Amino acid sequence: MKISMISEHASPLAALGGVDAGGQNVHVAALSEALAKRGHRVTVYTRRDATELPSRVKVGRRLEVVHVEAGPACHIPKDELLPFIGELADGIARDWGARPPDVVHGHFWMSGLAALDAARREDAGYCVPVVQTFHALGTVKRRHQGLEDTSPPERRWLEPGVARSADRIIATCSDEVFELKSMGIKTGKVSIAPCGVDLGLFSAEGSADPKPRSYRILSVGRLVPRKGVDLVIRALPLLSDAGFGDVELLIVGGGGDSRALHTDPEVRRLLDLAAELGVSDRISLQGQVPRAAMPGIFRSADAVVCAPWYEPFGIVPLEAMACGVPVVAAAVGGLRDTVVDHNTGLHVPPRDPEAIASALALLLGDSALRAELGAAGQQRAGSRYSWDRVAAETEKAYQLAAAGMSADRVSMEGAAL
């Protein structure tokens, strides 16, 4: 198939760990690569967010990234990109010319808008099947973030519109299917394909970074309040009370270089909290870490904690599992599918530092349990979450979307007769 991926803010080529660069970037990059390996021709369209970026970057024999002019060529927070989405769609349609793809796959709601716009132009003489992955739903975000949600107000009606108009939706976890259903979307047009993990990079074999204390707890991700890193800091004094004082909490992600890290308001908030709780000496902030350095960091951890308020999917727990490290995970969203309680990790209720501390105390106090959960996690990640498997599921969704469109065409032609 000739496949167009659209990922308006999340470039597969971007550095990870900044406020708007995380799982979606990894997902688009790895899925596109896996589809190209399966013989498809994949073009990823993303917004040009720096002047020095070339128009086209060839990433592999059948994979390229196209930087589309849409708004100023500088970083713009994703919640301010809506005014430029029409321009993005125009650029994509122009690039297609008279040779549109067999399927266009939008990532995030605004890419879905661009996909639908480019795919269904009356004057173009074609209609391309549209598949949509939301990565995050505005309804869920609003529920958890309330007034702090910075999404544009139009998201309230445009996002459900994308869901209704797309030929097929790919949900990344079962929780998302329920959310879509409660938005009034027919589940018959929803496929499930999770995110995957790069099993070539993330594995239990290989060296582990040194750790400065008896135990290392690891938190990885964009430093935004909803990731709940403050909850893990709050668990540290409780862990001390349980006899685990010689613990380091390593926090990866956020900021940029070490200077930018210390001007980041979220970092300030976390450091102030640690000082208030008397645990400043137990936390280390690493800033953004390149992918290649991540496995050694994962392998150095005794436990990885993912304590978000909500989580559309969450690739970090899969990476931890692939590295054979047990995960303490809030029982929300995708983490309910990936982390199996008392099998590959321990579930805790969301926003509950006491529960995080108890789960960590259980793991730190029992190396055999850590090894058992780590081995089960490794097995689960390897057997279910390879990107090749995810690409195969995605391919099925593309075929269903294309078949649905041809069925629609047949019935429309039938009606015309």
Which residue ranges make up the site for ligand UDP (CB under 6 A)?
16-17, 22-24, 26, 220-222, 252-253, 288-289, 291, 294, 313-316, 319
Q: How far is the CB of 246 from ligand UDP (least distance, A)?
A: 25
Q: How far is the CB of 389 from ligand UDP (least distance, A)?
A: 17
Cβ atoms 32, 66 nearer than 8 A: no
Complex with ligand UDP: residue 148 or 241, whichever CB lies closer: 148
Measured over the CA atoms of residue 5, residue 42, residue 167 and residue 134, the dihedral's sign is negative
Rg (CA), the chain: 22
Read off the tokens for 151. 């999404």
Complex with ligand UDP: residue 92 or 340, whichever CB lies closer: 340
Complex with ligand UDP: residue 131 or 318, whichever CB lies closer: 318
Complex with ligand UDP: residue 92 or 329, whichever CB lies closer: 329
Q: How far is the CB of 25 from ligand UDP (least distance, A)?
A: 7
Q: How far is the CB of 17 from ligand UDP (least distance, A)?
A: 3
The overall longest dimension of the chain from CA atoms, in Å, is: 79
Which residue has 């549109």 as its token pair? 100
Phi-psi region of 330 (alpha: psi -120 to 50; beta: other; left: phi over 0): beta
**Contacts for 147-152 with beta carbons within 8 Å, 24 or more apart?**
148/225, 150/77, 150/79, 151/79, 152/79, 152/80, 152/82
Q: How far is the CB of 409 from ligand UDP (least distance, A)?
A: 36
Complex with ligand UDP: residue 294 or 327, whichever CB lies closer: 294
Q: How far is the CB of 311 from ligand UDP (least distance, A)?
A: 7
Rounded distance, CA 52 to CA 261, Å?
A: 24
Complex with ligand UDP: residue 227 or 282, whichever CB lies closer: 227
Which residue has 């690409």 as its token pair? 391
Residue of this chain nearest to ligand UDP (CB atom) = 22
